[in-house]
A and B are shown apart, each in its own frame.
Chain A
Amino acid sequence: MIDICDLDLVYDNGHQALHGVNLQILKGEFVFLVGTTGSGKSSLLKLMYRELKPSAGAVLVGGVDLGDLARREIPYLRRSVGVIFQDFRLLGNKTAAENVAYALEITGTAKRKIPSRVAQVLELVGLSDKAKRLPSQLSGGEQQRVAIARSLVNEPSLLLADEPTGNLDPDSTWDIMQILSRVQTSGTTVVVATHNQQVVDLMRKRVLVMKRGHLVHDLARGAYRLDGRGSGLHVEQPGAPFSAVEAR
């Protein structure tokens, strides 16, 4: 699904955010992207939905080299890649259902097909009864579920989540992770960038560890936690000694 080769990313201010990243994510996989702030997780996600362009190397999503995409082709990529964020990014003046419908309206979906499709995804995220509420009338967890519904409504083959539970309480966090897990089960590739060690530890999915722009670990069923001094990130591979890992 995703092929990344020798990827470098240098921002306009000269800061190198990513160094020689090589990575492959298969169709239908669930992957956690972990690392401290500034490690390059978000930059890597942004490259996957072409918010950023690689400085060197290549990012291929579904076989398409995103570096070669013309500006006018980017919207079409975004329709096949769902993205959710820590701050939900919902339109405050539209109801939950309208926010979801919006992603269909922009793709020119026939008007009569929109209500049933919106109802379907809202049911998937457990919000059928709150379809007519504005984002301000929903809890954080519910807003994130609306965002997930919006990202799924065009049936993307890839779902990217940038700190999706960063603003949520533990209960809502768990709800969101279960929804994402269900999304993966239905065949969508899911990539989640997160700081939340509990989530990573509990889910036991593939974990990619970023540090200062380098991909330093790629663990099949990884877990991670902050070390006892709270000064860095440790990741463990089941069966491997805890020191298999790193941080600092």
Chain B
Amino acid sequence: MYSAYFFREVITNIRRSPLMSIASVTTVLVLTLILGYFATVMVNLEALANSLLREVQVVAYLDDDANQVSVAQQLERIPGVTSAHFVSKETALNKLVERMQGRIRVDDLSRNPLPDSYEVAVEGAEDLEEVAVRARRIAGVAYVKYGEEIAKKMLHFNALVRTVGIVILTLLFLSTVLIVSNTIRLTVFARRKEIEIMQMVGAAEWFIRWPFILEGVLQGLLGSAIAATLVGGSYAMVVPKLVETITFLPVVQAQDMLPHLLPALILNGGLVGAIGSLVSVNKFLKV
């Protein structure tokens, strides 16, 4: 029953001070743009780190007399292992010769010194160490390598990206709330007499608050929806070109990123508008 009244109030207020509304919407728009672009960079950085980590795999080198089938079965039974690919000593030697580009020749060797091996792919980088330890215990496995140093550095980098990302996103969110609440405070300040009158005639605090909160939410949603459209549109345009130019870069595709990012940005705008209004109007609701 009150909702129609609240909406009427919001429309009247926006009509009465359109410049203030434009200021609030623009503030949310600009800050959501920054937030949105920053989020796309963070997601891509994390994707890059993850794709590099996927390259790191466990290699189990076998004894000469190892039972390949049994080793393969045991490897695949280790939790976190997605596949075990057999590389025979001949294949390994050919690869080595190829990599050395003629600096060694097969004919020079009296025998193939390389062992048979399994390249073991794991689900996540955090599984590497555990898989390596278990693989080492399997009978027939001589030794195990998994690029320990690289994996640790990548994991560290990944954690750093995530922490820095969360800290910066939180700071951006808080500063958005602060700036929006200050902008909205101007509109609330312009109507402080009205709030006083409302309190004087016995309006409950929630009744005074709701139109302001609703106005903040609408302004926040509008600003962030425009910003989300800009972020989404530009991302969808830039990504295909980026993939074409820098083929090795694992850029997150627009269809994977935007369905999550855009609703989050728009919701965030509404939330920021609501909190900003609430903070402002509470300052004028002293009793």
A residues near B (Cβ < 8 Å) are 49-51, 71-72, 74-79, 83, 89-91, 93, 102-103, 105-108, 150-151, 154
Pairs of residues from A and B, 4 with the lowest C-beta to C-beta distance, nearest first: A78-B202, A79-B202, A106-B203, A103-B201
B202 touches A107 (CB 8 A): yes
A213 to B194, CA, bound (A): 30
A103 touches B196 (CB 8 A): no
Specify which chain B residues have a CB less than 8 angstroms from the CB of A83 in the assembled complex.
Answer: 200
B1 touches A75 (CB 8 A): no
A91 to B191, CA, bound (A): 10
A78 touches B16 (CB 8 A): no
Known: A75-B205, A77-B202, A105-B5. 12 other contacts (CB 8 A): A49-B200, A74-B287, A75-B199, A75-B202, A75-B203, A76-B202, A79-B201, A79-B202, A93-B12, A93-B16, A106-B202, A150-B201
12 A-B pairs in the complex with CB atoms less than 8 angstroms apart: A50-B287, A51-B287, A71-B287, A75-B199, A75-B207, A78-B201, A89-B193, A89-B200, A93-B12, A93-B16, A102-B201, A106-B207
A51 to B2, CA, bound (A): 26
Specify which chain B residues have a CB less than 8 angstroms from the CB of A150 in the assembled complex.
Answer: 201
CB contacts under 8 Å to A, within B1-56, are 1-2, 5, 12, 16
Task: State the Cβ distance, B47 to closest chain A Cβ, in Å.
Answer: 50
Specify which chain A residues have a CB less than 8 angstroms from the CB of B202 in the assembled complex.
Answer: 75-79, 103, 106-107, 154
Task: State the Cβ distance, B287 to closest chain A Cβ, in Å.
Answer: 6
A83 to B198, CA, bound (A): 12
CB contacts under 8 Å to A, within B262-287, are 287
Q: How many A-B residue pairs have CB under 8 A?
A: 48
Selected from A51, A72, A79, A89, the residue in CB contact (under 8 A) with B197 is A89
A74 to B207, CA, bound (A): 13
A93 to B11, CA, bound (A): 13
Specify which chain A residues have a CB less than 8 angstroms from the CB of B16 in the assembled complex.
Answer: 93
Selected from A50, A74, A103, A108, the residue in CB contact (under 8 A) with B1 is A108
B197 touches A91 (CB 8 A): yes
A108 to B205, CA, bound (A): 14
Specify which chain B residues have a CB less than 8 angstroms from the CB of A49 in the assembled complex.
Answer: 200
Task: State the Cβ distance, A244 to closest chain B Cβ, in Å.
Answer: 37
B184-214 interface mask toward A, CB cutoff 8 Å, 1 = contact, 0 = none?
0000000001101111111111010000000
